[in-house]
Every structure is written in structure tokens, then in C-alpha cells.
A and B are shown apart, each in its own frame.
Chain A
Amino acid sequence: LAKTTQPISMDSYEGQEVNITCSHNNIATNDYITWYQQFPSQGPRFIIQGYKTKVTNEVASLFIPADRKSSTLSLPRVSLSDTAVYYCLVGDRGRTDKLIFGTGTRLQVFP
């Protein structure tokens, strides 16, 4: 399974757009990219998943360039409640959906 690299932490202010980039140089052809969000004392929560180009839902957007060696999670107009750890994962969507979590990116949003 591909290894991912993310920044350890990021800071932002309320109302700003936050972009968290994840590197996955060894991503395989069948791998999908999935992002999870985790608040303190809670389990991770699925945010978004994609294979290529751009995916958007009511929470976030996921940008994946043509070579798929990286991806960017975009959170529009963050609020204090977006303070959390964000995990980028890659894995074969067609197999066991086995997830390997890294240490994630700790996002701190300030007022």
C-alpha cells in the first residue's frame, strides 16, 4: 500500500480557505485517495474520496493532478469547528478497503 506524506500541522484563521496537500509518490493504478477528519475523543469521520481530477461535496473539495502523485484537500471558509486532525489515505478501492493511517495533519483554526 502506498505511503503518504502530509504536513504535521497547519494554522489558519476563521473564514480562510485551507489547502492540505498529501504526497503519495508510489500510488498504484487501482488506488483511491480518501480523507478522514478526526476530532479529539472521537473516531475518524469520512470526508471525501477520489481517483482523479476534482471531487466536490458539501464539506470539501479534493484536487488530484494527472500524475496522481499528490492530492490536495480544500476546506472553504474554515470555522473554529474545523480544528481537527486530517488524514490522507490511499488504498485499493477494489480490495479489502484496508486503511493505513499516517500521523495526519493537525489543523488549528484561530478566531
Chain B
Amino acid sequence: EAGVAQSPRYKIIEKRQSVAFWCNPISGHATLYWYQQILGQGPKLLIQFQNNGVVDDSQLPKDRFSAERLKGVDSTLKIQPAKLEDSAVYLCASSRQGSGQPQHFGDGTRLSIL
């Protein structure tokens, strides 16, 4: 099966600009996750969707970050305005519905803020 697709692969912007990332999960996976991974650290969950509904967004900085999954398939994550500390890799993952299903990760978008 095709894996989780993310684009772009790399993005460089200046602080205070906006940026958007796109994720297409594995077909049939109801659950979608966005993670932020800062260099040298493990991934940190930003938001979790179950179909098109938000399950957990407790660690999403809602003043500048937003995410949507309108049709319950692909998803976008937006940052507006970006800050220097947002430099990181943004990972998308998906999993089948149900307990104990492993998460399948994309290769992420590396964001650099100048």
C-alpha cells in the first residue's frame, strides 16, 4: 500500500510569514495525526483527527497554528504568523480506526524560519 504522503518536503520562510503543509494519509485510515519534531527531540503531537473531527488538539498553539481535515481524508496544517521557534520537521501520521493500531508516518516537511 502507498505510504503517507506529505508536501512540500522542505520550506524556507521568513518570520511572520505564513506557511501550509499538506498530508494525504494511507487509504482507509480514519485517524490522522500532526506532529512537530524539533532537532534532537522526539516528535510531539500537535493534533489528532478521527475522520474529520478533532480528537485532541491540546498541544496545538492555536493562536498561530490551525489544521483541518474537511472531507476526512487529506489534511492541511497552517502556521500564521511563523516564529523562529517553529523551525522543525512537521510529521503527519495515520492509523486504522480501533485500539492498538500502529501509526504510519510520512517523511515530514522540514521548515526553516529565517
A interacts with B: yes
B residues 28-48 near A (Cβ < 8 Å) are 31, 40-45, 48
Per the CB 8 Å criterion, the residue count for chain A at the interface is 22
Answer whether A97 and B4 are a contact pair too, CB < 8 Å, given A43-B105, A102-B42, A104-B42: no
Residue of A nearest to B97 (CB): A97
Main secondary structure on A side of the interface with B: loop
Please tell me which one of the listed residues B55, B102, B106 contacts residue A96 in the complex, with CB atoms under 8 A apart: B55
Give the bracket for the number of chain B residues in contact with chain A.
20 to 34
Q: How far is the CB of A54 from chain B (nearest CB, A)?
A: 17
Q: How far is the CA of A98 from the CA of B41 in the complex (A)?
A: 17
Does A32 lie within 8 Å of B100, measured CB to CB? Answer: yes
List, in ascending order, chain B residues with CB within 8 A of A32's CB.
100
B100 touches A49 (CB 8 A): yes
Cβ contact within 8 Å between A100 and B45 = yes
Q: Mark B98-113, 1 if CB is under 8 A from A, else 0.
A: 0111111111101000
Q: Which of these, A34, A41, A44, A93, contacts B43 with CB under 8 Å? A: A44
- Using CB atoms, name the residue of chain B closest to A94: B99
Offer 14 A-B interface pairs, CB within 8 angstroms, sorted by A.
Answer: A41-B107, A41-B110, A43-B108, A44-B43, A46-B102, A87-B42, A97-B31, A97-B95, A97-B101, A99-B103, A100-B45, A101-B44, A103-B40, A104-B42
Known: A43-B105, A101-B41. 15 other contacts (CB 8 A): A32-B100, A34-B102, A41-B108, A43-B91, A43-B106, A43-B108, A45-B105, A46-B104, A97-B99, A97-B100, A98-B45, A100-B45, A101-B44, A102-B42, A103-B41
